[in-house]
Amino acid sequence: MRIAAGADHAGFALKQVVVARLRAAGHDVVDVGTGAAELSVDYPLYAHAVAAAVERGEVDRGLLVCGTGLGMCMAANRHHGVRAADCFTPQLADMARRHNDANVLCLAGRLLDESQAWEIVTTWLEAPFEGGRHARRVAAIDDTGAGARVARAGAPTTEASRG
């Protein structure tokens, strides 16, 4: 799998460990930076670089690491077709893939140790997207007009819409 990886200064150390393990596992990793932890950098720059690579189809998935994963996740999700998830547990990573087809994983460099992060990453890489009713919901993520249509028509109440 081809994976773009990026981090700010707070996520640099964890990114380095995860990237090395991904490469050792046979993945092709494009590291967009940052290249050091000593200099404070702005996380959105790296989030946008990774998300743009996913958006353009240059990579299969993206990995982002900052202090909490939150800022990276917010920035990455600005890109069309990017479904970034900030995951703190393997269970969240599993559901992010199975139900939301998450193609960018965000990690908290200040909150996760290397072992926890690797378990989350491997779970996320191995979990399949279930499709089915979830495919309709994933398609709606990029449909920014859906909310306005629901607001005008009123919330759906049929059993099929609750699926």
What is the distance between the alpha carbons of residues 13 and 115, in angstroms, rounded to a whole number? 13
Q: Which of 9, 48, 80, 99 is catalytic?
A: 99
Q: Does the annotation count 99 as an active-site position?
A: yes
3-state DSSP helix/strand/coil % of the chain, to nearest 5: 50, 15, 35
**Cα separation, 105 vs 7, whole angstroms:** 12
* Residue 51 DSSP symbol: H
Give the active site residue among 9, 27, 48, 66: 66
φ, ψ for residue 45, nearest 5 deg: -60, -45
Known catalytic residues are 66, 99
